[in-house]
Amino acid sequence: MACLATSEICDTNQALVIKGDVRVLQPIFQIYGQCRAFSGPIVTLKVFEDNVLVRDMLESPGDGRVLVIDGGGSTRCALVGGNLGQLAQNMGWAGILVNGCIRDVDEINACDIGVRALGSNPLKSSKKGHGDKHVPVNVWGTVIHDGEWLYADSDGILISKSELSV
């Protein structure tokens, strides 16, 4: 699937941007993974320094969706590592956005998915299984709902209420 360029989306959908139906995420995410550009319907997850639910979600078929993990912005441990990156690739996820950290960067960079995260931290997270699936999350001021669309490329990350075309 050819990916829409985020800058083009913003130029051709100015009314949607003004209305807030298309929002630009804060430009604070690092780019990882083989796919610099990716898009898809969003599945949301809210966790804090605990990635049991991340594995749970990635074990189900991705069907080209994007997993948005709101880790509360914590950079004290990693929510996704090489194994989960591989799992996401094998299960057909288009990408993962982590409002938090990843680890095993070299392994994740070899995976055929797109990944965005605040940075990397070699510490693993706790494994208690706390968190919520499919809930609205707030990522640095941008509220993201399950079922919305994410478009990411080298220029930035967009959240759209619905699928976009040019």
Residues at the contact surface with ligand OAA, assessed by CB under 6 A: 51, 80-84, 103-104, 124-125
Q: Which residue is nearest to ligand OAA (CB)?
A: 81
Please answer whether residues 66 and 29 qualify as being in contact, where contact means their C-beta atoms are separated by less than 8 angstroms. no
C-alpha closest to that of 101 among 129, 124, 85, 83: 124
Provide, rounded to whole angstroms, the least separation between the CB of residue 51 and ligand OAA. Answer: 5
In terms of CB distance, is 81 or 95 closer to ligand OAA? 81
Residue 104 assigned as binding residue: yes
Known binder of ligand: residue 81? yes
Rounded-to-integer distance, Cα 97 and Cα 76, Å: 17
- Whole-number minimum distance, CB 21 to ligand OAA, in Å? 34
| Minimum CB distance to ligand OAA, residue 49 (Å) | 11
Nearer to ligand OAA among residue 98 and residue 164 (C-beta) = 98
Q: Give the residue with the Cβ less far from ligand OAA, 83 or 154.
A: 83
Rounded to a whole number of angstroms, the minimum distance from the CB of residue 156 to ligand OAA is 26
* Residue 84 among known ligand-binding residues: yes
Whether 71 has a binding-site annotation, put simply, is no
Would you say 83 is a known binding-site residue? yes
**CA distances for 87 relative to 83, 100, 112, 130, angstroms:** 6, 19, 11, 21
Q: Which residues are annotated as a binding site for substrate?
A: 81-84, 103
Q: Which residues are annotated as a binding site for Mg(2+)?
A: 104
